[in-house]
Amino acid sequence: MSLRSVVLLIVGIVIVVFAGANWPAMTAPTDINLIVASVHAPLGLILLGLMVLLCVLFALFVVYLQGTGLLEARRQARELAAQRELAEQAEASRITELRGYLEQQVTRLSAAMENQSREMLARVDRAESGLSERPAQGQAQLDKLATTVETLNRDLHTRIDRLEMGLREGMSRG
């Protein structure tokens, strides 16, 4: 029980004890002026009845307020659920768009790597054919070709590493 309930229970008990202790005085008839008429009735019982009526009206008012609060809370919960669903749908749409973009980038980078590989193989073929024609200049061109191949290979590996990192980051966010 809450503190308010305990206090209300104690007040109710005190009122009942007070009414019980003074029952003869509460039931003693007296002249009561009702402004338009005069009545001979027990004033204590009339006041006790009015207090009970006031308590009933107060309890009905509390029930009404709690019912209204519950209805409002349910309405807000439904609105919140609808907003959450909209947000989840928007997030799913963004994730789908991001996947499409990443797939485009992977396709574009794969095509670029293939082109670069073809170019490198064409250069190697040209260099080999040049070496067979000019044996004296062959070693210099071979050294130059080896340097070019190493540079292109490093560049290719760097791009692959960047692509893999980007894909991992994209997938971990998704």
Reference 141, options 124, 156, 154, 155; nearest CA is 124
Across 32-46, average pLDDT: 90
DSSP H or E segment with residue 42: strand 38-42
Residue 7: per-residue pLDDT: 93
Tokens of 62: 């509390």
Q: How many domains does the chain have?
A: 1
Question: Which residue's structure tokens are 């290719």?
Answer: 156
DSSP H or E segment with residue 154: helix 138-173
Q: What is the largest CA-CA distance in the chain?
A: 142
pLDDT digits (tens, 9 = 90+) for 46-96: 898 999 999 899 999 999 999 999 999 999 999 999 999 999 999 999 999
Instruction: Please state the φ and ψ torsions of residue 32, each to the nearest 5 degrees.
Output: -115, 130
Residue 138: per-residue pLDDT: 61
Residue 134: per-residue pLDDT: 60
Residue type, 116: Q
pLDDT digits (tens, 9 = 90+) for 140-165: 777 888 888 888 888 888 888 888 78
**Which residue range is the domain that position 101 belongs to?**
3-173
Does residue 10 contact residue 18 with C-beta atoms inside 8 Å? Answer: no
